[in-house]
Chains A and B, each alone.
Chain A
Amino acid sequence: MRLPPTSIVPALLAAVSVAACGSDAPRSITTVSWGGSYGRAVNEGANIPFTEATGIRIEIEDYNGGLAQIRAQVDIGDIHWDVVDLEIADAVRGCDEGLLEPIDVNSLPAGADGTPAAEDFVAEGRTECGVGNLYWSTVYAYNDENIPGTKPATMADFFDLEAFPGRRGMRRVPQVNLEFALIADGVPLDQVYATLDTPEGLDRAFAVLETIRDEVIWWEAGAQPPQMLADGEVIMSTAYNGRIFNAQVLENQPFVIVWDGQLLDVGQVGIVAGTPRLAEALEYVAFSTSAESMARIARRISYSPMRRSGMPLVTTHVVAGVEMEPHMPASPANSARALRYDWSWWVDHQDELNERFSAWLAR
């Protein structure tokens, strides 16, 4: 392959400068996130500005959640991940197991309006080792073209095969689905986890799932629901709201999100325990969870900032130019009937319910 001469010169210069630096190499850290459209939003909204501001380079790696890789690195003592974008249940579990560094909220910068960080973050946004970054949500969505006439509007409609015949997409995990089943069955939002906590409540949730199980297509990856909706493989599907937003706004898909009964969850950023680049990692966490960074990310994907002062900064999408507010899971209109994901309940019951759910699926 022949490179044009103009590209060879900078490449050579870069090679020479790297070689010349030798031991005094530029500082760099590895940040790990979820890839896809969210990974791109974090990269443009936080990573690139961070490198410009501090000179610390960032290596990006993608993962699919879970603590396995972090635990392997901490156990062996060879740590090459520094900052990880985590689900809140993993942030808490990782903290309990000594896999993550505790982070003092007072070391984080004040909000955009000068509010100290401790007050600027919404209460559910911080854990001992994790700093909240964005709200995200599991909702269900449908393809407007494939449902003529009356449109589904409530969680109960998702489970109503008579009014809306056709296949549904659901994630192949017990969490979220059991909550949705109870909401559809008329359990008040503030009673959902109390109901799940009883054996009868669990049986009830599984019984509701049973009513639609022959019509469900189970998905694994977040990219599948928009694809299945576009193909007409399913008439509605549970999905991450950001993925549906992307399809709506950037690909002009006629998808509609039903916010009723949505399950609101929070993302966390944490630092791998024992990293030799702790100072740089802390610097990155402080920068990437600032109100300004959150807002820059939220202008690229519809996940709401977890700092109060960050919300007013989110205006329009950087490419499509649409107002972000109507697409945000935590906006007042959309979260009127939202259930907060109870990660602590799931941390306790994940193992047994996963076995039960798998056994139920295999029957």
Chain B
Amino acid sequence: MKVSVAPERRAQLRALGLVAPLLIFIGVTFIAPLATMLTRSVHDPVVADALPETLALLEAWDGTGTPPEAVYAAAARELERATAERTVGQVAGRVNRVQGGLRSVVTGTARDLGDIGQGPWREAMTAIDEAWADPATWHAIRTTGERFTARHYLNAVDLQRLPDGSVASQPEERRIYLRLFLRTLMVSGVITLLCLLLGYPIAHLIARAPPHRANLLLVLVLVPFWTSLLVRTTAWIVLLQTQGVLNDILVAMGLVSDDGRLAMVYNMTGTIVAMTHVLLPFMVLPLYSVMRGIPATHMNAAASLGATPLQAFLRVYWPQSLPGVGAGALLVFILAIGYYITPALVGGSDGQLISNMIAYHMQTSLNWGLAAALGGVLLAGVLVLYALYDRLVGVERMGLG
């Protein structure tokens, strides 16, 4: 027995060695970024690192009136240091997100403080900008000073922390994310359904066609799949716009008047049409590969036992194709939920999805904490749906053929 353990372990190690590159690859390109992102959504040390003394002194402040002189003195000293280390912009940006308008107050004060040698700092800072006499400014600094914070997640679901510590809704005109989440889920659901309705007959046709014709049909499915996403999206704009091909045909046929041309792009219709087309191959391919494995004789057998075509389909064919339906639907849904180029181009005012806001916070506002929190909420949502799917259908039944 002892002799046989060593080769067994060696074999195990060798197997591990063979999959190691893949594990490392997944770790570096998937798990690590995901972990960093989720960390960023709750951990934000910039202000805490830049203004440690100010924040410690603010702890004792009761939140009404202006804080004591010692707080001003510490803030002046630390802001000056932040200017020298060139981190003041990051501090200012974070404070500004809690209270709009404070960015220039913080950077401007930090710049002007260099010319003032000594206190009293309360007067000096208030003279530079009156905002320093406003308790709201100090609340904003205290809020952003939390090293570990839930404010990005609160923000991501349209909530905010009030100065007294309670949680409340954002003001009406700033409530946007929950609505976008719901819209994203709804649009993705509709697209998945449309893809299924369109893709199922196509996949069935390809699976049942003789080999040479099946190949041709497959190529027809794959050619758009290989074409640039931007080209396909732009093509839909050309087809659907008010002066576009489809409207021209409808007008020529007399179905709509020249003044009553339909608005089919730059709105939700455009988003759904273009995204359904873009994602259709992801539905057809898994369906096709599963359907190819269903013997044609099953339907004949059902018919010979007296089933009507509809009964035969519902009780014999459909259950066997379910793994493909599950795989295709999950694939399309998850891709649709994170899509953003197509909605950005054809979405118009009501076609924007949550991914567009994530991109905005990543690229433009540099609020990576909020972007990460929005991504985190989206991820949680997808995981919940996945668990639900597993409960209802069973993941082990999902198949790619």
Please give the residue numbers on chain A whose beta carbons come within 8 Å of chain B beta carbons, in ascending order. 64-68, 71, 93-98, 167, 172, 213, 216-218, 220-221, 231-233, 344, 347-356, 358-362
In angstroms, Cα B363 to Cα A64, docked, is 9
A93's partner among B89, B344, B345 (CB-CB below 8 A) is: B89
Contacts of B345 in A (CB 8 A): 220-221
Contacts of A353 in B (CB 8 A): 100
Contacts of A216 in B (CB 8 A): 349
Q: Is B362 an interface residue (CB 8 A)?
A: yes
In angstroms, Cα B108 to Cα A344, docked, is 11
In chain B, positions 303-350 with a C-beta closer than 8 Å to chain A are 344-345, 348-350
Q: Is B41 an interface residue (CB 8 A)?
A: no
Contacts of A67 in B (CB 8 A): 366
Q: Is B360 an interface residue (CB 8 A)?
A: yes
Contacts of A213 in B (CB 8 A): 349
In angstroms, Cα B93 to Cα A141, docked, is 35
- The smallest beta-carbon distance between B7 and chain A, in angstroms, is 44
Given contacts A96-B88, A96-B92, contact A68 B362 (CB under 8 A): yes
- The smallest beta-carbon distance between A359 and chain B, in angstroms, is 4
Q: Which residue of B lies closest to A355 (CB)?
A: B174
Q: Which residue of A lies closest to B348 (CB)?
A: A218
Residue from B93, B172, B364 whose CB has the most chain A CB atoms within 10 Å: B364
Asked whether, in the complex, the Cβ of B102 is within 8 Å of the Cβ of A356, the reply is no
Asked whether, in the complex, the Cβ of B266 is within 8 Å of the Cβ of A352, the reply is no
Please give the residue numbers on chain B whose beta carbons come within 8 Å of chain A beta carbons, in ascending order. 85-90, 92-93, 96-97, 100-104, 107, 172-176, 179-180, 183, 241-244, 266, 344-345, 348-350, 352, 357, 360, 362-367
Q: Which residue of A lies closest to B350 (CB)?
A: A362
Asked whether, in the complex, the Cβ of A351 is within 8 Å of the Cβ of B266, the reply is no
Asked whether, in the complex, the Cβ of A97 is within 8 Å of the Cβ of B90, the reply is yes
A347's partner among B97, B104, B183 (CB-CB below 8 A) is: B104
In angstroms, Cα B367 to Cα A177, docked, is 23
Contacts of B101 in A (CB 8 A): 348-349
Contacts of A218 in B (CB 8 A): 266, 348-349
In angstroms, Cα B90 to Cα A95, docked, is 10
Q: Which residue of A lies closest to B357 (CB)?
A: A358
Chain A interface SS verdict (over half): helix
Asked whether, in the complex, the Cβ of B366 is within 8 Å of the Cβ of A348, the reply is no
In angstroms, Cα B180 to Cα A361, docked, is 11
In angstroms, Cα B361 to Cα A68, docked, is 9
Contacts of B350 in A (CB 8 A): 361-362
Asked whether, in the complex, the Cβ of A358 is within 8 Å of the Cβ of B176, the reply is yes
A361's partner among B89, B107, B352 (CB-CB below 8 A) is: B352
14 new A-B contacts, CB < 8 A, other than A68-B362, A68-B364, are A96-B86, A96-B90, A96-B107, A172-B349, A348-B104, A350-B365, A351-B97, A352-B174, A354-B364, A356-B173, A358-B176, A359-B172, A359-B175, A362-B352
In angstroms, Cα B307 to Cα A269, docked, is 75
- The smallest beta-carbon distance between A147 and chain B, in angstroms, is 15
Q: Which residue of B lies closest to A349 (CB)?
A: B100
In angstroms, Cα B93 to Cα A97, docked, is 9
22 residue pairs from A and B, CB less than 8 Å apart: A64-B363, A66-B363, A67-B366, A68-B362, A93-B366, A96-B88, A97-B89, A98-B86, A172-B349, A218-B348, A220-B345, A221-B345, A231-B241, A347-B103, A349-B101, A350-B364, A351-B365, A354-B360, A355-B176, A356-B173, A358-B176, A362-B179
Contacts of B244 in A (CB 8 A): 231
In angstroms, Cα B266 to Cα A361, docked, is 13
Asked whether, in the complex, the Cβ of B365 is within 8 Å of the Cβ of A97, the reply is no
B241's partner among A94, A233, A348, A360 (CB-CB below 8 A) is: A233
- The smallest beta-carbon distance between B192 and chain A, in angstroms, is 22
In angstroms, Cα B173 to Cα A167, docked, is 26
In angstroms, Cα B348 to Cα A127, docked, is 36
Contacts of A231 in B (CB 8 A): 241, 243-244
Q: Which residue of A lies closest to B102 (CB)?
A: A348
In angstroms, Cα B357 to Cα A350, docked, is 14
Q: Which residue of A lies closest to B86 (CB)?
A: A98
A359's partner among B85, B90, B176, B366 (CB-CB below 8 A) is: B176
Asked whether, in the complex, the Cβ of B243 is within 8 Å of the Cβ of A232, the reply is yes
Given contacts A97-B93, A354-B365, A362-B350, contact A217 B266 (CB under 8 A): yes
Q: Which residue of B lies closest to A71 (CB)?
A: B366
Contacts of B179 in A (CB 8 A): 359, 362
In angstroms, Cα B223 to Cα A203, docked, is 50
In angstroms, Cα B97 to Cα A354, docked, is 12
Asked whether, in the complex, the Cβ of A348 is within 8 Å of the Cβ of B175, the reply is no
Q: Which residue of B lies closest to A361 (CB)?
A: B349
Asked whether, in the complex, the Cβ of A351 is within 8 Å of the Cβ of B100, the reply is yes
Given contacts A352-B174, A358-B176, A362-B352, contact A233 B242 (CB under 8 A): yes
